[in-house]
Structure 1
Amino acid sequence: MVGEIVFHLGDSKTGSTSIQQTLVAQAWTGASKTLLYNARVNHIPLAHTINRPKDKPFAKKRWTALRSDLERSDADIAVVSAEGFEFSDPDEFAEMVRQYLGEWQGRIRFITYLRPHAERVVSTYAERSKQGLFLGRLEEMHERLLDSGLLMYAPRIARWKAQWGDAYTVRPMIRSELRGGDVVEDFLNFVFHGDPVKPQAVAGANESLTAADLAALRAIHATFPKQARMRDAQKTLGWNLAQLISALPRPKNTEKPQLHRSLAETLVKAYRDDAAEVDRLYFEGSPLSKSLEAAPGKARETVQPIDAASYFGPDALRLIEGLGQLLVRMIAAAPDTMSTAMRPKQLRAKNWDPDGKRKAKGAVAKKKSGKRKAGEVTQTPSTGVVAQVARRLPKGLRRKLSPLRRHLS
């Protein structure tokens, strides 16, 4: 079995995708230990067994499968990574770990990265917008986050610490605070107990969108009706389209989504106490407080436009609207199929074959029909309808229309 386990718990928008891509590719040098990463992308389905009611019935199956993989491997370290653990109840999570991974008691470590409050508001706004989960203004996103308490870090971190003590580590997602100025290198340094590990470049990193990119995605999402059956496919569309766009060359002088000054000042007042508490308990040099207090000075004077018309001309807007309508039509016709089809090939189920049934039916039909005899006419449904209509017409009119009838047949 593996020697120890490291749980990477997020948070969202702290480089989790880059970390996971590096783990999948095993893209590093300088490690003295071996590592198991048993996910094709991440362990979000595992996190969902704690934080999504509809996934709770699958808890035993998914956690047992994880345990089996860990027992079969002789790697020194195994990593379990899902930013979705951020939204999990720490007590429920602890119960699952102790129930299914009790063999590794005392040999499990946990790490969370925290993005500074002001930056996290903007990144959450962008992330939810690109998936079609939120189409409001940035101020409205702040109000939602404040009401939910999601960015009140101190109480949440305290609950994780209460469960795991010194086995739980929290790090600030601030470049100057990270080893090598890079979250991937910082994470690998933690995993490999300080080995001089260097990550290698991995294609397809989750680059942030420009303000114009985000406005275009929001315009596409605005064409979708609010239907639960299309929700998952719409999220998949946003996430994958954003991945493709972010990998393309960018025009010069593009802007990223940004705060405006009045909102930044509001955020300072809202999160000043929380930042100070986290800094006092876990960090040296008050990095969260310094980042928060600096936010107004980095912000725009005026509100950043979020409508597509502020970035695109009439012709481009027309294309965006048309593309949105086409995507709605396609997803409405087959939400599950489209949800899978939009993913990269390596992320689809291995046995996925949307044409398989149609091919099988075609083969059966061909076998039944056999070869057609010379001169034999096969009557299609449309042929039968034309013949029935023709029989009801007067003879004279029937003769006049016979060329049309032959054409339709």
Structure 2
Amino acid sequence: MVKQLIFHLGDTKTGSTSIQSVLRAKGYELAGKTIFYPTTGKNLNHNTASQTLYKEAVFDQRANRFGALEQKLSQSDADYGIVSAEFFQYADPADLKKTIEQFMPNHAGNVRLIAYVRPHAEKFLSSFSTQMRVGARQTTPLALFEKYTELDTLDYAPRFKKWRDVFGDAFTLRLFSREHLHRQDVLQDFFQFVTGADKTKITWTPYNNPSLKVGQIALLRYLIEPLAGTEKQGNKRHLRGELSRILARNIEESKVGTDTPRVTMSRKLMARFVKRYETDAIAMDEAFFTGNPMTKALQNAKTKLAAPPQSLRVEDYFSEAELRSFALMSNVLCTMADADPAKMTSLARALRLELNRQK
């Protein structure tokens, strides 16, 4: 069996996709060490296993999914086995510990865990971009702030303290900020944590899933919005999200809208944001970091990530000629969706998964 088991816990928006893509592609060279990353088929990560810890609908699959991982890890003689799922951030660490002891007993005594945390304002704006990428409707920075405030989504300190309380020194938290990462790179940082090596040769470059610029978000909303009227009609329910993901990637790769500003918060919202999260930033620094990096990042956001309110009207970023081309594309998508929504959804999902495999 593997000599040591590593759990990579995310968080979301901290380079998890890049780490998972390199692990699955075996896009690295290690000196005298081996890694086993047990994924199969279309799976990039182990989110389906992590979901059994917090989604009631799949609680009954916990034994099967973690048991399957245990079986694969026990059949490997690699130095390190890695389980990676950013959705562990939604799980109770006590439930994971109990699950390891119950369904992965061969490795329960030799586990290390690592999570990355992104400064509050950067995580918030990246999450807003992601909401747009997956086809969310009527979402604005203010609406997302109010939602996160209600759900305590960015209250990091209580959650990460619980991970440390449950797993003790086996748990490591790293700050997802270039100047705090080993060699200023999350891949180098992760492999340094796993193997202890100062530098790992990365032989495969993953798609880095960048945040959309504000003009790109406006364009994506414009292209997808005509599907809103059919979103609740049975087999069209998921089509909007599938198409939105594909269009977002094509917008990025075509470089359309890259000359528009990055997404920021209005200064009024930023003032509310800083007030809301300054206590959590202080608590994180006191518990996990030296030099107060979380507090400094939050205060620096007031100048780096705040600006006058941004428009999400596509007309404010593109010419009339460009808008006519975009309208034609949107009409074609709607026509195809109306003709055979079930088939369109299936094709869109297959294309998205294929693009994910190419990451």
TM-score w.r.t. length of structure 1? 0.79
Name the residue aligned to 1:148.
Answer: 151
Q: Does 1:337 align with 2:346?
A: yes
Structure number with higher relative contact order (C-alpha < 8 Å, ≥ 6 residues apart): 2
Aligned equivalents of 1:327 and 1:181: distance in 2? 45
Aligned equivalents of 1:327 and 1:79: distance in 2? 42
The residue type equivalent to 1:12 in the other structure is: T
Q: 1:211 to 1:162 in 2, by over 3 A?
A: same
Q: Does 1:11 align with 2:11?
A: yes
Matches within 5 A, 1:120-135: 120-135=123-138
Aligned equivalents of 1:281 and 1:11: distance in 2? 18
Q: Does the 8 Å CA contact 1:10/1:112 hold for their aligned counterparts?
A: yes
The residue type equivalent to 1:9 in the other structure is: L
Aligned equivalents of 2:90 and 2:344: distance in 1? 26
The residue type equivalent to 2:166 in the other structure is: Q
Aligned equivalents of 1:229 and 1:156: distance in 2? 37
Name the residue aligned to 1:171.
Answer: 174
Aligned equivalents of 1:337 and 1:252: distance in 2? 30
Deviations 1:14-51 (A, max 9, x none): 11111111111222234431001112411111122223
SS of structure 1 residue aligned to 2:44: coil
Q: Between the two proteins, what is the percent identity of the paired residues? A: 31
Aligned equivalents of 1:121 and 1:30: distance in 2? 35
The residue type equivalent to 1:241 in the other structure is: L
SS of structure 2 residue aligned to 1:65: helix
Paired residue for 1:273, among 263, 275, 279?
A: 279
The residue type equivalent to 1:17 in the other structure is: T
SS of structure 1 residue aligned to 2:68: helix
Aligned equivalents of 2:119 and 2:71: distance in 1? 37
Paired residue for 1:246, among 242, 248, 252?
A: 252
Matches within 5 A, 1:219-238: 219-222=222-225, 223-224=227-228, 225-227=230-232, 229-238=235-244
The residue type equivalent to 2:95 in the other structure is: E
Name the residue aligned to 1:315.
Answer: 324
Q: 1:205 to 1:252 in 2, by over 3 A?
A: closer
Q: 1:331 to 1:49 in 2, by over 3 A?
A: farther
Return the offset for 1:231. 4.3
Aligned equivalents of 1:104 and 1:110: distance in 2? 13
Q: Does the 8 Å CA contact 2:337/2:344 hold for their aligned counterparts?
A: no
Aligned equivalents of 1:46 and 1:238: distance in 2? 26
SS of structure 2 residue aligned to 1:342: helix
Q: 1:305 to 1:330 in 2, by over 3 A?
A: farther
Aligned equivalents of 2:197 and 2:111: distance in 1? 16
Return the offset for 1:332. 2.7
Deviations 1:352-394 (A, max 9, x none): xxxxxxxxxxxxxxxxxxxxxxxxxxxxxxxxxxxxxxxxxxx
Q: Does 1:192 align with 2:195?
A: yes
Q: 1:233 to 1:205 in 2, by over 3 A?
A: same
Name the residue aligned to 1:77.
Answer: 80
Deviations 1:130-158 (A, max 9, x none): 11235321111111111100100000011
Q: Does 1:86 align with 2:84?
A: no
Name the residue aligned to 1:306.
Answer: 312
Q: Does the 8 Å CA contact 2:74/2:106 hold for their aligned counterparts?
A: no
Return the offset for 1:121. 1.0
The residue type equivalent to 2:20 in the other structure is: Q
Q: Does the 8 Å CA contact 2:134/2:245 hold for their aligned counterparts?
A: yes
SS of structure 1 residue aligned to 2:254: coil
For the pair shown, which has the larger CA radius of gyration, 1 or 2? Answer: 1
Deviations 1:323-353 (A, max 9, x none): 44246436733476235422344868xxxxx
Q: 1:233 to 1:188 in 2, by over 3 A?
A: farther
Deviations 1:222-260 (A, max 9, x none): 223342654444333333332333233456633222222
| Between 229-238 and 303-312, the greater mean CA deviation after superposition | 229-238
SS of structure 2 residue aligned to 1:247: helix
The residue type equivalent to 2:19 in the other structure is: I
Name the residue aligned to 1:381.
Answer: none
Aligned equivalents of 2:65 and 2:239: distance in 1? 23
Aligned equivalents of 2:238 and 2:74: distance in 1? 34
Q: Does the 8 Å CA contact 1:135/1:218 hold for their aligned counterparts?
A: no
Q: 1:230 to 1:269 in 2, by over 3 A?
A: same
Aligned equivalents of 2:127 and 2:278: distance in 1? 19
Name the residue aligned to 2:105.
Answer: 102
Q: Does the 8 Å CA contact 1:9/1:112 hold for their aligned counterparts?
A: yes
Structure 2 alignment gaps of length 5 or more? none
Q: 1:241 to 1:81 in 2, by over 3 A?
A: farther
Q: CA RMSD in A?
A: 2.3
SS of structure 1 residue aligned to 2:20: helix
Matches within 5 A, 1:285-296: 285-296=291-302
Aligned equivalents of 1:331 and 1:187: distance in 2? 44
Q: Does 1:282 align with 2:288?
A: yes
SS of structure 1 residue aligned to 2:60: helix
Q: Does the 8 Å CA contact 2:35/2:80 hold for their aligned counterparts?
A: yes
Structure 1 alignment gaps of length 5 or more? 349-409
Deviations 1:187-226 (A, max 9, x none): 1111112443233341423222222222222233322334
Q: 1:134 to 1:119 in 2, by over 3 A?
A: farther
